[in-house]
Amino acid sequence: MSTDDTTDAPADESTTSTDADGRAERSQVESEAQETPPSTVLQVDGLDAGYETGQVLFDVDVDVREGELVSLLGRNGAGKSTTLRALMGADEPTVLDGDVRYRGTSIRDWQPYKRANAGIALVPEKRRCFPRLSVVENVRLAINHATDPMALDDVLALFPELDDMRQKHARNMSGGEQQMLAIARALAANPDLMLLDEPFEGLAPYIVRRIEDIIADINAEQGITVFFVEQNVAAALAIADRHYVLDEGRIVDTVTSDRLREDDEFRQTYLGV
């Protein structure tokens, strides 16, 4: 995908400063990227993070390369969502040690909005669509604050289900529709890296397959690097190339889909399936 064309950013007056910041962040990331191997999009080095109640992540290392579709698997409470929240720079968890590098640049001290402006999009746990905003408003919010966004109609063309309910408020939508909206909102920013937190959770099997297809297409056709956390091993196997396995806050291994499929003992030990 194109990352050097920033002239198409929306000419909305009230977002000018943010967009200017975003362009600066993105060009800073891109210029510094030349000093590191261009294939690495996300690099997490020895990340320790936790809450007031205690440390959750211990020395987590993750490396996601350009165009990859990688999953982070683990049981409930293993620290998967904590990892994504730390990657987005949320107030909690607190990062205690280690570094998060995006295209070679340390973003550990960046505010969440700067990470988003630089090209990282998040589909969070429980979707978190803005309940009293319409489908169009949810997507437009992301478009208005992205450096190089997609056009609204282009985003909705990828989600015919959403295109038919443009003015519907998110709170009146089903779980599957909200999940599509959360993905559409993230995609609208035309990100380089998309992070998804349990995108299949609580969805009917046929919706799970639809979301699987959407994520696979985002990766294959839009060329967006995808890193997602998941409990649903079958769904992760269906789309991801490589899998990190997290257990009690530590990465225990990184495995291919073949190994994960065939090694019953490994699966049983760390994922309970």
Partner 1 sequence: MSTSSITNRSRELLADVSPAWFALALALVVATVAGFAHQPGLFVTQAVGGLVYGAILVLITLGLSLILGLMGVVNFAHGALFMLGAYLSYSVVVAWGLPFWTALLVAPILVGVVGVLIEVTVLRRLYGSEPIVGLLATFGLTMMLDEAIRYHWGTTPLGYAKPEVLRQSVDLGITQVASFRLFMVAVATLVVAAVYVLISRTDFGLTVRAGVQDGEMTEFVGVNLPVRFTAMFFLGSAIAALAGVLQAAEYGVNSQMGQTFLILAFVVVVVGGVGSLFGSVVAGILIGEANYLAPVILAGLAEYTGIAALNISGIRGLVPYLVMLFILLVRPRGLFGEEGLLE
136 token code pair:
């169009």
One residue of 42, 62, 70, 116 binding partner 1 per CB under 8 A: 116
CB of 153 to partner 1, least distance (A): 18
**14 counts as binding partner 1 under rule CB under 8 A:** yes
**131 counts as binding partner 1 under rule CB under 8 A:** yes
CB of 215 to partner 1, least distance (A): 18
CB of 272 to partner 1, least distance (A): 30
**161 counts as binding partner 1 under rule CB under 8 A:** no
Do the beta carbons of residue 101 and residue 107 sit within 8 Å? yes
One residue of 98, 104, 124, 199 binding partner 1 per CB under 8 A: 124
One residue of 132, 157, 234, 268 binding partner 1 per CB under 8 A: 132
**15 counts as binding partner 1 under rule CB under 8 A:** yes
179 token code pair:
């999940």
**172 counts as binding partner 1 under rule CB under 8 A:** no
Q: For 67-171, where are the E strands, in sequence order? A: 69-74, 94-102, 105-106, 120-123
**144 counts as binding partner 1 under rule CB under 8 A:** yes
Q: How far, in Å, CA of 3 to CA of 263, rounded?
A: 39
Q: How far, in Å, CA of 177 to CA of 65, rounded?
A: 30
Q: Is it true that the peptide bond before 93 is cis, omega within 30 degrees of 0? A: yes
One residue of 141, 152, 238, 252 binding partner 1 per CB under 8 A: 141
**179 counts as binding partner 1 under rule CB under 8 A:** no
One residue of 55, 67, 108, 112 binding partner 1 per CB under 8 A: 112
Q: What does the per-residue mask of binding to partner 1 show for 57-96, with x meaning CB under 8 A?
A: -------------------------------x-xx-----
Do the beta carbons of residue 247 and residue 78 sit within 8 Å? yes
Do the beta carbons of residue 229 and residue 77 sit within 8 Å? no
Angle at 141 between CA 137 and CA 143, to 5 degrees: 115
From 104, 102, 103, 98, select the one nearest 112 (Cα to Cα). Answer: 102
57 token code pair:
């992540």
* DSSP letter assigned to residue 89: T
Tally of CB atoms within 10 A around 136: 18
One residue of 70, 86, 107, 142 binding partner 1 per CB under 8 A: 142
Q: Give me the residues that bind partner 1 (CB under 8 A), please.
A: 12, 14-15, 17-18, 21-22, 88, 90-91, 111-113, 116-117, 121-122, 124, 128, 130-133, 137, 140-142, 144-146, 185, 189
